[in-house]
Structure 1
Amino acid sequence: MGAETCSVDTVEFPPGASLLLYTDGLTEARDSSGAFYDPADHLTGQCPRSPDELLTTLLEDVHQHTRKHATDDMALLALTHTPQTQSVT
């Protein structure tokens, strides 16, 4: 918005890939010992099939991590690139 220039990074978003956007309420969720929640660590090796499944899995895991005592609000958005089908005539 100012006079400064901004850099733009472009990355591929291949079909089947998902993008997860979240606020700091997710990464600042703590367990009973005070350890922060790390979404990358907790989601590694999981392959949710849809954005809904990703968000459900994530929320269940955060609730387990915090024992349902999260103290901050969080906003989550998941997008999955689904390939368009092309009809052949």
Structure 2
Amino acid sequence: MRMASRSLMELEIFERGAGYVTASGASACAAVSAARELGLCDDRVEVRMPGGSLEIAVAEDGGIMMTGDAEQVAAGSFAPALRARLDRTLTAGTVR
């Protein structure tokens, strides 16, 4: 994370288990929250990542609002046996 100014953060992300990722909303929120606690940024920050930019706003009570574009980057499907098991679990109202 690098603060280019009080309202602009540049961020690169390495997630445990996933490795280098080009963008992450959760990581952007966490980085702005930490920077805000340290007094490094204002309440509204543009976070630029290799995969895109987000605007993060931090409220007085610590709540965070993330605004930005979203796009599908992958698609997939569950194996029929797993899908049937998930359906049964959700129907029963319990998730284990």
Shorter chain as denominator, the TM-score bin is: 0.3 to 0.5
**Which has the larger share of strand?**
2
Rg comparison, structure with higher value: 2
- What TM-score does the superposition give when structure 2 sets the normalisation length? 0.31
